[in-house]
Chains A and B, each alone.
Chain A
Protein backbone atom coordinates (compact mmCIF):
# COMPACT_ATOMS: atom_id res chain seq x y z
CA UNK A 1 0.00 0.00 0.00
CA UNK A 2 1.42 3.38 -0.99
CA UNK A 3 1.96 5.76 1.88
CA UNK A 4 1.35 9.48 2.13
CA UNK A 5 3.30 11.29 -0.56
CA UNK A 6 4.50 14.87 -0.26
CA UNK A 7 6.36 17.18 -2.59
CA UNK A 8 8.69 18.89 -2.74
CA UNK A 9 10.93 17.34 -0.10
CA UNK A 10 12.90 20.53 0.38
CA UNK A 11 12.34 24.24 -0.32
CA UNK A 12 14.51 27.29 0.28
CA UNK A 13 12.93 30.72 -0.02
CA UNK A 14 13.70 34.32 0.63
CA UNK A 15 11.35 36.23 2.91
CA UNK A 16 8.31 37.45 1.05
CA UNK A 17 8.27 34.65 -1.49
CA UNK A 18 5.37 32.25 -1.91
CA UNK A 19 5.50 28.46 -1.82
CA UNK A 20 3.06 25.57 -2.20
CA UNK A 21 3.27 22.11 -0.73
CA UNK A 22 1.41 19.18 -2.20
CA UNK A 23 0.10 16.07 -0.47
CA UNK A 24 -1.35 12.82 -1.79
CA UNK A 25 -2.91 10.87 1.10
CA UNK A 26 -3.38 7.12 1.32
CA UNK A 27 -6.15 6.08 -1.03
CA UNK A 28 -9.52 5.99 0.68
CA UNK A 29 -8.49 8.01 3.71
CA UNK A 30 -11.12 10.66 4.26
CA UNK A 31 -9.27 12.70 6.87
CA UNK A 32 -6.20 14.72 5.95
CA UNK A 33 -3.99 16.79 8.26
CA UNK A 34 -1.27 19.40 7.84
CA UNK A 35 1.21 19.76 10.67
CA UNK A 36 4.07 22.21 11.16
CA UNK A 37 7.15 20.83 12.91
CA UNK A 38 9.67 23.52 13.87
CA UNK A 39 13.18 22.32 14.56
CA UNK A 40 13.45 20.57 17.93
CA UNK A 41 9.69 20.66 18.54
CA UNK A 42 6.84 18.24 18.13
CA UNK A 43 4.41 18.50 15.22
CA UNK A 44 1.72 21.15 15.65
CA UNK A 45 -1.60 20.91 13.84
CA UNK A 46 -2.30 23.66 11.31
CA UNK A 47 -5.48 22.41 9.65
CA UNK A 48 -7.39 19.24 8.93
CA UNK A 49 -10.08 18.14 6.50
CA UNK A 50 -12.73 15.49 6.34
CA UNK A 51 -13.22 14.90 2.62
CA UNK A 52 -13.18 18.40 1.13
CA UNK A 53 -14.46 20.19 4.22
CA UNK A 54 -12.22 22.05 6.64
CA UNK A 55 -12.89 20.72 10.15
CA UNK A 56 -10.42 22.84 12.10
CA UNK A 57 -8.15 25.61 10.83
CA UNK A 58 -7.92 27.55 14.07
CA UNK A 59 -4.11 27.25 14.16
CA UNK A 60 -3.59 28.26 10.53
CA UNK A 61 -2.19 31.83 10.19
CA UNK A 62 -4.96 32.90 7.83
CA UNK A 63 -3.27 36.08 6.66
CA UNK A 64 -0.53 34.14 4.88
CA UNK A 65 -1.40 30.44 4.93
CA UNK A 66 -4.13 28.69 3.02
CA UNK A 67 -5.03 25.05 2.49
CA UNK A 68 -7.44 23.34 0.14
CA UNK A 69 -8.60 19.83 -0.62
CA UNK A 70 -11.05 20.45 -3.48
CA UNK A 71 -12.00 16.88 -4.38
CA UNK A 72 -11.44 15.30 -1.00
CA UNK A 73 -8.26 13.59 -2.14
CA UNK A 74 -5.04 15.57 -2.74
CA UNK A 75 -4.35 18.73 -0.81
CA UNK A 76 -2.25 21.87 -1.21
CA UNK A 77 -0.87 24.07 1.55
CA UNK A 78 0.29 27.51 0.44
CA UNK A 79 2.30 30.19 2.17
CA UNK A 80 1.68 33.53 0.50
CA UNK A 81 4.55 35.60 1.89
CA UNK A 82 7.02 33.50 3.81
CA UNK A 83 8.75 34.70 6.97
CA UNK A 84 11.85 33.33 8.67
CA UNK A 85 9.62 32.05 11.47
CA UNK A 86 7.95 29.72 8.97
CA UNK A 87 11.15 27.68 8.77
CA UNK A 88 10.02 24.17 9.70
CA UNK A 89 9.11 20.78 8.31
CA UNK A 90 5.55 20.60 7.02
CA UNK A 91 4.00 17.19 7.50
CA UNK A 92 0.92 15.87 5.79
CA UNK A 93 -0.93 12.93 7.32
CA UNK A 94 -4.07 10.95 6.61
CA UNK A 95 -6.42 8.67 8.48
CA UNK A 96 -9.42 6.45 7.82
CA UNK A 97 -10.53 5.53 11.32
CA UNK A 98 -9.49 8.83 12.90
CA UNK A 99 -7.42 6.90 15.42
CA UNK A 100 -4.37 5.73 13.49
CA UNK A 101 -2.72 8.53 11.55
CA UNK A 102 -0.15 7.97 8.80
CA UNK A 103 2.42 10.64 8.06
CA UNK A 104 4.34 11.57 4.94
CA UNK A 105 8.06 12.33 5.04
CA UNK A 106 7.42 16.05 5.04
CA UNK A 107 8.67 19.12 3.23
CA UNK A 108 11.59 20.85 4.89
CA UNK A 109 11.21 24.61 4.38
CA UNK A 110 13.99 27.09 5.02
CA UNK A 111 13.24 30.81 4.77
CA UNK A 112 16.31 33.04 4.64
Chain B
Protein backbone atom coordinates (compact mmCIF):
# COMPACT_ATOMS: atom_id res chain seq x y z
CA UNK B 1 0.00 0.00 0.00
CA UNK B 2 0.84 3.66 -0.11
CA UNK B 3 3.25 4.94 2.50
CA UNK B 4 5.27 7.98 3.54
CA UNK B 5 8.68 7.81 5.19
CA UNK B 6 10.23 10.55 7.26
CA UNK B 7 13.61 9.35 8.46
CA UNK B 8 14.35 12.04 11.07
CA UNK B 9 12.34 12.04 14.25
CA UNK B 10 14.08 15.13 15.61
CA UNK B 11 16.06 17.84 13.88
CA UNK B 12 17.79 20.44 16.03
CA UNK B 13 19.19 23.56 14.37
CA UNK B 14 20.67 26.89 15.27
CA UNK B 15 18.70 29.91 14.10
CA UNK B 16 19.84 31.10 10.68
CA UNK B 17 21.01 27.74 9.43
CA UNK B 18 19.30 26.01 6.49
CA UNK B 19 16.53 23.50 7.05
CA UNK B 20 15.99 20.27 5.17
CA UNK B 21 13.45 17.69 6.27
CA UNK B 22 13.34 14.46 4.33
CA UNK B 23 10.27 12.82 2.85
CA UNK B 24 10.04 9.84 0.53
CA UNK B 25 6.95 7.98 -0.52
CA UNK B 26 5.60 4.84 -2.13
CA UNK B 27 2.47 4.98 -4.23
CA UNK B 28 0.92 2.97 -7.02
CA UNK B 29 -0.30 6.13 -8.72
CA UNK B 30 0.94 9.71 -9.10
CA UNK B 31 -0.10 11.23 -5.80
CA UNK B 32 -0.35 14.75 -4.49
CA UNK B 33 2.24 15.42 -1.78
CA UNK B 34 1.76 17.74 1.17
CA UNK B 35 3.63 19.18 4.11
CA UNK B 36 1.62 19.93 7.25
CA UNK B 37 2.94 21.83 10.26
CA UNK B 38 1.64 21.34 13.79
CA UNK B 39 2.56 23.72 16.59
CA UNK B 40 2.13 22.68 20.21
CA UNK B 41 -1.53 22.24 21.14
CA UNK B 42 -2.64 23.40 17.71
CA UNK B 43 -4.25 21.65 14.74
CA UNK B 44 -2.08 20.48 11.84
CA UNK B 45 -2.12 23.14 9.13
CA UNK B 46 -1.29 22.82 5.47
CA UNK B 47 2.12 24.33 4.69
CA UNK B 48 2.74 23.23 1.10
CA UNK B 49 1.26 21.04 -1.56
CA UNK B 50 2.72 19.70 -4.78
CA UNK B 51 1.39 20.93 -8.08
CA UNK B 52 1.08 19.13 -11.36
CA UNK B 53 2.46 22.03 -13.42
CA UNK B 54 6.02 21.60 -12.14
CA UNK B 55 5.96 24.89 -10.24
CA UNK B 56 7.81 24.74 -6.97
CA UNK B 57 5.43 25.45 -4.09
CA UNK B 58 6.60 28.00 -1.54
CA UNK B 59 5.09 29.31 1.69
CA UNK B 60 6.53 31.23 4.64
CA UNK B 61 10.03 30.77 3.22
CA UNK B 62 9.62 27.00 2.94
CA UNK B 63 9.72 25.20 -0.38
CA UNK B 64 9.62 21.64 -1.60
CA UNK B 65 10.17 19.99 -4.95
CA UNK B 66 8.43 16.81 -6.02
CA UNK B 67 10.93 14.44 -7.62
CA UNK B 68 9.02 11.54 -9.11
CA UNK B 69 12.21 9.76 -10.14
CA UNK B 70 13.30 9.45 -6.52
CA UNK B 71 9.79 9.55 -4.98
CA UNK B 72 10.80 12.43 -2.75
CA UNK B 73 9.30 15.71 -1.54
CA UNK B 74 11.89 17.16 0.84
CA UNK B 75 11.07 20.36 2.73
CA UNK B 76 13.66 23.15 2.67
CA UNK B 77 14.19 26.63 3.99
CA UNK B 78 17.29 28.74 3.57
CA UNK B 79 17.36 30.20 7.07
CA UNK B 80 15.63 28.73 10.13
CA UNK B 81 13.73 30.98 12.52
CA UNK B 82 12.84 30.32 16.15
CA UNK B 83 9.15 30.37 15.20
CA UNK B 84 9.71 27.43 12.83
CA UNK B 85 9.98 25.08 15.80
CA UNK B 86 7.10 22.64 15.33
CA UNK B 87 6.16 19.15 14.19
CA UNK B 88 6.24 18.68 10.42
CA UNK B 89 4.31 15.94 8.65
CA UNK B 90 4.72 14.83 5.08
CA UNK B 91 1.56 13.32 3.60
CA UNK B 92 0.31 11.96 0.32
CA UNK B 93 -3.03 11.59 -1.35
CA UNK B 94 -3.99 9.84 -4.52
CA UNK B 95 -6.78 12.37 -4.95
CA UNK B 96 -9.27 11.65 -7.67
CA UNK B 97 -12.99 11.15 -7.43
CA UNK B 98 -12.71 8.77 -4.49
CA UNK B 99 -11.68 11.64 -2.30
CA UNK B 100 -8.61 12.76 -0.49
CA UNK B 101 -7.39 10.00 1.80
CA UNK B 102 -4.32 11.55 3.37
CA UNK B 103 -1.59 9.16 4.45
CA UNK B 104 0.86 10.72 6.88
CA UNK B 105 4.45 10.04 7.78
CA UNK B 106 5.49 9.72 11.40
CA UNK B 107 6.51 13.37 11.59
CA UNK B 108 9.73 15.29 12.20
CA UNK B 109 10.08 17.55 15.19
CA UNK B 110 12.06 20.65 14.25
CA UNK B 111 13.68 22.46 17.15
CA UNK B 112 15.34 25.79 16.33
CA UNK B 113 17.60 27.24 19.01
CA UNK B 114 19.12 30.73 19.34
Question: Taking beta carbons and an 8 Å cutoff, which residues of A are in contact with B?
Answer: 3-4, 31, 33, 40-45, 48, 50, 55-56, 91, 95, 98-106
In whole angstroms, what is the CA distance A92 to B94 when docked? 20
Question: Taking beta carbons and an 8 Å cutoff, which residues of B are in contact with A?
Answer: 4, 32, 36, 41-46, 49, 89, 91, 93, 95, 98-107
Residues of chain A lying within 8 A (CB to CB) of residue B98: 55
**A4-B43, A105-B41, A105-B42 known; A42 vs B99 contact (CB < 8 Å):** no
Q: Determine whether the beta carbon of A48 is less than 8 Å from that of B101.
A: yes
Q: Determine whether the beta carbon of A99 is less than 8 Å from that of B100.
A: yes
In whole angstroms, what is the CA distance A67 to B93 when docked? 22
Q: Determine whether the beta carbon of B100 is less than 8 Å from that of A104.
A: no
Contact partner of A44 (CB less than 8 A), chosen from B45, B46, B100, B104, is B104
In whole angstroms, what is the CA distance A48 to B46 when docked? 19
Give 5 nearest A-B pairs by CB, closest first: A42-B104, A98-B100, A103-B43, A105-B43, A103-B44
Q: Determine whether the beta carbon of B44 is less than 8 Å from that of A99.
A: no
In whole angstroms, what is the CA distance A98 to B32 when docked? 11
Q: Determine whether the beta carbon of B43 is less than 8 Å from that of A106.
A: yes
What would 15 more interface pairs be, CB under 8 Å, given A4-B43, A42-B106, A101-B46?
A: A31-B99, A33-B102, A42-B89, A43-B104, A44-B104, A45-B103, A50-B99, A91-B44, A98-B95, A98-B100, A99-B32, A99-B93, A101-B100, A103-B36, A105-B43
